[in-house]
Amino acid sequence: MEMVSKYNSSFVLNDEQRTKIIRKEVQQSYKDIRAKYSILKHQNAIGFFIFAFSISMIVLSGVGYLQHNISIFLLIPWVAFWTSLLHELEHDLIHFMYFKKNKFIHNLMMLGVWVFRPMTISPWLRREIHFHHHRVSGTKTDIEERGVTNGERWSFKRFITVADVLLGGVLRGALIRRDVIAAVQSGELSREQALVFKKVKVYGMMPFTIVLYLIWYFFLAHYAIHFGAMLLQLDYSSPAFIQAQMYWINPLVAILIAPNFFRMFCLHFITSNMHYFGDVESGNVMQQTQVLDKWYFLPMQLFCFNFGSTHAIHHFVVNETFYIRQLTASRAHQVMKEQGVRFNDLGSFRRANRFYEHPQLEIA
């Protein structure tokens, strides 16, 4: 039997009214699930348990790998999964959902989710651009999403920079800078916010993230040279000094760097394609995101904790934890479908994440 929406009426609702309906239903679903399961009231304890358990799994698997008890082919997806939980925790921490009144534990958790996801920018600085993302999602100054390729045509450049934040910043930095300057000049963006962007660009990867990226590039170059020499049938061996460095670089890459690159590719592919860009109405939440929940996205969803299916809910109601959002997703999806939120709009991949078709549109 076809389900009939309790909100159906003879009146045509605008997007603002539809947004209010979705928010009301989602907020009620959160209240209901908390009333049903009293354990969910212990939000700080649950958050810290997920934090500590995820880090324990990463450390134990790293020890197992060093002792030759775990294969690298198991290690990489295993660590990627647990760091995906740490990413969700970071997002909740950015919204002050855990230990808001206990600054020490709050900042300890912020540090922990960064150390074990070391290829990302500082979570304290990310907070600045993430709040801005919610205010201007889908516009040219939404640098959080643009930094992970949202709004670009699919190309080799987009493919190789989906996971690589540093390389992506180098290759698209001039374009984003131009758009930010234009937004300041037109009055769309305050100079204070532009200075925040500059601070994120200069300090976001300090002190250790930039070092780990350089180690990653060194690792890739080292093995690319060896692979090239093998193809050309050249007798080549690295200098002794470089060989000595590989004794600690190889396990660092296996335990932390490679799993995070794999995780980031999955997350950034999903988030950069579920967010719309470039032609959305400012502040219109109905146009900011779609839901990606087709079965063939599952391999990537597994390593970004079902982000494509649930993150759109967060744009309507921001003040709830990621695990409760998972528990209430089916109810949220029902009302979102009824009110016209898009699901699996695969044409957006061809449209460079535009909300509408633009046959004549020039896209960078």
Q: Supply the DSSP string of 298-341, one letter for each residue.
A: HHHHTTTTTHHHHHHHHHH--SS-HHHHHHTHHHHHHHHHHTT-
Residues with Cβ within 8 Å of 104's Cβ and at least 6 positions away in sequence, in order, are none
Q: Say what the pLDDT of residue 11 is.
A: 59
In a domain, 224, yes or no: yes
In a domain, 207, yes or no: yes
Asked if 67 and 124 count as a contact pair (C-beta separation under 8 A), the reply is: no
Tokens 């470039």, residue located: 278
User: What span, in angstroms and rounded, lies between the C-alpha atoms of 358 and 51?
Assistant: 44
Two structure tokens written together for 52: 């500590």
Where the chain has pLDDT below 50, the residues are: 1-10
Per residue in 57-75, pLDDT (tens digit) is 999 999 999 999 999 999 9
Burial class (CB in 10 A: 0-12, 13-18, 19+), 302: middle
Two structure tokens written together for 326: 């998972």
In a domain, 181, yes or no: yes
Q: Say what the pLDDT of residue 9 is.
A: 46
Ramachandran region, residue 218 (left: φ > 0; alpha: ψ -120 to 50; beta: rest) = alpha
Encode burial over 93-103: b for 16+ CB neighbours within 10 A, e otherwise.
Answer: bbbebbbeeee
Give the count of alpha carbons within 13 A of 167, CB side only.
15
Q: Say what the pLDDT of residue 12 is.
A: 74
Could you give the 3-state DSSP secondary structure of residue 291? strand
In a domain, 362, yes or no: no
Q: Which neighbouring-strand residues pair with 275? A: 289
Q: Supply the DSSP string of 100-137, one letter for each residue.
A: TT-HHHHHHHHHHHHHTSTTS--HHHHHHHHHHHHHHT
User: What span, in angstroms and rounded, lies between the C-alpha atoms of 182 and 176?
Assistant: 10
Q: Say what the pLDDT of residue 309 is.
A: 97
Domain that includes residue 182, residue range:
20-350
In a domain, 2, yes or no: no
User: What span, in angstroms and rounded, lies between the C-alpha atoms of 150 and 280?
Assistant: 13
Two structure tokens written together for 100: 């808001």
- Domains: count for the chain: 1
In a domain, 12, yes or no: no
Two structure tokens written together for 157: 């450049």
| Residue 289 DSSP one-character state | B
Burial class (CB in 10 A: 0-12, 13-18, 19+), 22: buried
Amino acid at 86: L
Cα angle: 203, vertex 209, 210; to 5 degrees: 75
In a domain, 239, yes or no: yes
Q: Say what the pLDDT of residue 75 is.
A: 98
In a domain, 13, yes or no: no
Two structure tokens written together for 119: 């290829």
Cα angle: 268, vertex 218, 220; to 5 degrees: 60
